[in-house]
Chain A
């Protein structure tokens, strides 16, 4: 997945998808549908270490580092948040730590979902993005360590 496309190319695809919608209802129906289709996170991963607690809803996030790329899996107890989580994973998963760290996620603004990343929403999304980037920092350190030892 995302093998050839850059983060900004995927963001552009999403912006184009959303341009087809005429109303907020259609946008949210699409996001909710994405949320429902997001594969559930295995119960064994729904533990406190992976939990990002928002005031409103909870997100669980795990990351795997493979061959220079990070692969994320996440879930939320609220379906709209889950749909947005699905979009963020589509954008960021399968990229290198440096690409992930440099991404600004401007597409969220373009599709009119930027309020969900606002701190006041406290839905766990903003904290999830931070945690995704923290993983990128952590994995980039491992990478350089491995390189040095080789």
Chain B
């Protein structure tokens, strides 16, 4: 690996591994606080992509030549790494997708079509990303099934008691986000999975935000499906993972037809390839999938525990200072919260704050964060969201706080 980092979280050394952090934005050093949208990439990940194209670009699985073998080995090494990273029983349970959204859609269009019938119920929550709402809405409309919503309280936490009441013998699926992208809330997915299973329902966990911050063990959690994206864990865009329990993946119908996913094709009938290839039609995103392993190696070389501790300290530090700003309200005050702080300020539109911060070189996200029902629940047009990663510093939080003070002064 190109980036060696000492065992204790040494943010300055970590920062050196990320070339983009050197750049200036609008004449200021970049303060990148939009990590929940996408994380920056260490040089080793960028190198892994170009190494593939420079050194062994070949299509995988089919070739007889040397480079095809090298590419296949590297590609499959990522699958093994992911299986270990999330505690899957077998790498056959790791399906490569374009990202979390495609993973959820894959389940909706395969398992969902096969298993959801008229009158069945699917439970999601009020804090879901649109990606974990729309596929189920489409499915429920098509099948005449019912979509039920777990409400969010004023602190941004799910009501577990109401969830238990929503569960009925008709509940076939609970699809829930582990960490909210708008609030930072960590949901009690272990308890949710346990209750859902007691009721005979399957559970899909949206791990888009959680996979980078929390230790994930799908066997220990006993979730049926787990979807996440590579680009939020310092990997490339365009590659994600869907985990599914083997028996479910084997029983589900195919998603897309094409090359790779077949066993034998005649014009009369096609038999399908074994797992995981059954769900991977066509030439996959080879370069980015290979580089995803490098990203996970990088995260693991530093240690998720250390990263999480650092990020939680940043959140606490930012929250404390932001709360001193007159008229500022933190949206999402869950007890168990990671990685981000979302806020609104009285009489100021979030996008105005974002625009002015951008002029100071500070990148935050403003808007509804693809969670419009949640924004409606809090009766706000959106929030300003600062989300943290391993390379963010306390000085950057100071810059954010000073920037917000300045923006408020200009705006009011």
A: which residues have CB within 8 A of B?
A: 24-25, 28-29, 32, 55-58, 77-81, 116, 122-123
Contacts and interface: CB of A to CB of B under 8 A. Distances in A.
Nearest to B366: A56
A32 B351 contact: no
Interface stretch (B113-121, B265-273, B285-293, B352-360): B352-360
A28 B350 CA distance: 16
Nearest to B406: A25
Contacts, number: 41
A81 B354 CA distance: 12
A57 B351 contact: yes
A77 B356 contact: no
Contacts of A77: 349, 381
A129 B381 CA distance: 22
B410 interface: yes
A28 B356 CA distance: 8
Contact of B410 (A29, A57, A78, A81): A29
A44 B399 CA distance: 42
**Interface size class of chain B, counting residues whose CB lies under 8 Å from the partner chain:** 10 to 19
Given A32-B410, A77-B349, A123-B351, A56 B356 contact: no
16 contacts: A24-B26, A25-B359, A28-B410, A32-B352, A56-B354, A56-B382, A57-B349, A57-B381, A77-B381, A79-B348, A79-B349, A79-B352, A79-B411, A80-B351, A80-B352, A80-B356
B188 interface: no
B367 interface: yes
A25 to B, nearest CB: 6
Nearest to A23: B359
A56 B351 contact: yes
A32 B411 contact: yes
5 nearest A-B pairs in the assembled complex, by CB-CB distance: A78-B349, A56-B351, A78-B351, A57-B351, A56-B367
Which of A56, A57, A80: most chain B CB closer than 10 A?
Answer: A56
A29 B381 CA distance: 23
Interface string B337-376: 0000000000011111011100100000011100000000
Contacts of B354: 56
A129 to B, nearest CB: 17
Nearest to A76: B349
Interface in B227-241: none
Contacts of B382: 56
B85 to A, nearest CB: 32
Contacts of B381: 57-58, 77
Contacts of A81: 351
Contacts of B359: 24-25, 28
Which of B348, B354, B411: most chain A CB closer than 10 A?
Answer: B411
Nearest to B367: A56
Interface string B5-45: 00000000000000000000010000000000000000000
Contacts of A56: 350-351, 354, 366-367, 382
Nearest to A35: B352
B185 to A, nearest CB: 23
Contact of A80 (B355, B367, B368): B355
Given A28-B356, A80-B352, 8 more contacts: A32-B352, A32-B410, A57-B381, A77-B381, A78-B349, A78-B351, A79-B349, A80-B355
B367 A78 contact: no
A80 B411 CA distance: 9
A116 B356 CA distance: 12
A38 to B, nearest CB: 14
Interface string B161-201: 00000000000000000000000000000000000000000
Contacts of A58: 381
A132 B101 CA distance: 35
Contacts of B351: 56-57, 78, 80-81, 123
A123 B351 CA distance: 8
A143 B359 CA distance: 44
A25 B367 contact: no
A57 B368 CA distance: 10
Nearest to A26: B410
Contacts of A25: 359, 410
Which of B352, B368, B381: most chain A CB closer than 10 A?
Answer: B352
A28 to B, nearest CB: 6
B410 A55 contact: no
A25 B354 CA distance: 14
A78 B355 CA distance: 10
Which of A29, A57, A116, A122: most chain B CB closer than 10 A?
Answer: A57
B359 to A, nearest CB: 5
A77 to B, nearest CB: 6
Contacts of A29: 410
Contacts of B355: 28, 80, 116
A80 B382 CA distance: 16
A29 B351 CA distance: 15
A57 B355 CA distance: 12
